[in-house]
Amino acid sequence: MKIPVVKEILSANERVAAENRITFDASGVFVLNLMASPGAGKTSLILSTIDRLPEEVRPGVIEGDLASTIDADTIAARGIPVVQINTGGNCHLDAPMIRTALPDLPMDEMNLLFIENVGNLVCTANFALGADLAVVVASAPEGHDKPYKYPAMFASADAVVLNKADLLDVFEFDVDYFRRGLEMLNPGVPFFVVSCRTGDGVGDWVAWLLDRVDG
């Protein structure tokens, strides 16, 4: 009996995700769903990206966390429109949560929306939100085995960003091993090695993103 219930939940989520996508498209807003383990640097990547956007790109953010407004407060301090979703223990955002957050965003003033999902490499991949791109953020301190341990997450990604590249040597991170895992699961997936602290590689990621937004 459990399998039909799971299918029903996911099917209902897919319907709302499709409605979200219609709303985003009608508003001219390009949407990223950023997924990662806790502490990988999703918020840092969002801010580093926003710092490099041209003036005509007007971003907003939806922050997903189990609790607190820490990351949302950091973003709001930069004058960026942001809405906090606290899931109260749920390990992922879903499409209905995103739907309820949209009225609190100035959609008519934005054309790029970052959705920072709850820190989790398991169930976040299963729930569509209506985003244009699913981006997985990994980081050097996590280790180079993540694509092998969490294949569903990396197999479904539209792009993968490896953050904290300034710590690759410290943690003996094998980028080639990590990349081989990606290629086995998701051949040709765009892959960016960046350090949000130093700025290395962030420009390449932003250039790629802007090509998608403009396209």
pLDDT (0 to 100) of residue 10: 65
The secondary structure of 78-90, three-state, reads CCCCEEEEECCCC
pLDDT in tens, 124-176: 888 899 999 999 999 999 999 999 999 999 999 999 999 999 999 999 999 99
| Average pLDDT estimate for 33-53 | 96
Q: Answer for the pair 174, 143: CB distance below 8 angstroms, yes or no.
A: no
Closest by Cα among 151, 142, 205 to 174: 142
Q: For residue 110, is pLDDT > 70?
A: yes
Q: Answer for the pair 94, 13: CB distance below 8 angstroms, yes or no.
A: yes
What CATH code is assigned to 2-214?
A: 3.40.50.300
pLDDT (0 to 100) of residue 9: 58
Q: Is 77 helix (H, G, I), strand (E, B) or coil?
A: coil
Length of the chain: 215
Q: For residue 112, is pLDDT > 60?
A: yes
Beta bridge partners of 154: none
pLDDT (0 to 100) of residue 7: 59
Q: For residue 73, is pLDDT > 70?
A: yes
pLDDT (0 to 100) of residue 123: 83
Give the H or E element holding residue 94: none
* Token output for 1: 């009996």
| Average pLDDT estimate for 43-60 | 97
| Average pLDDT estimate for 58-85 | 93
pLDDT (0 to 100) of residue 1: 44
Rounded CA-CA distance 176/112 in Å is 32
Rounded CA-CA distance 119/87 in Å is 12
Spans of all domains in the chain: 2-214
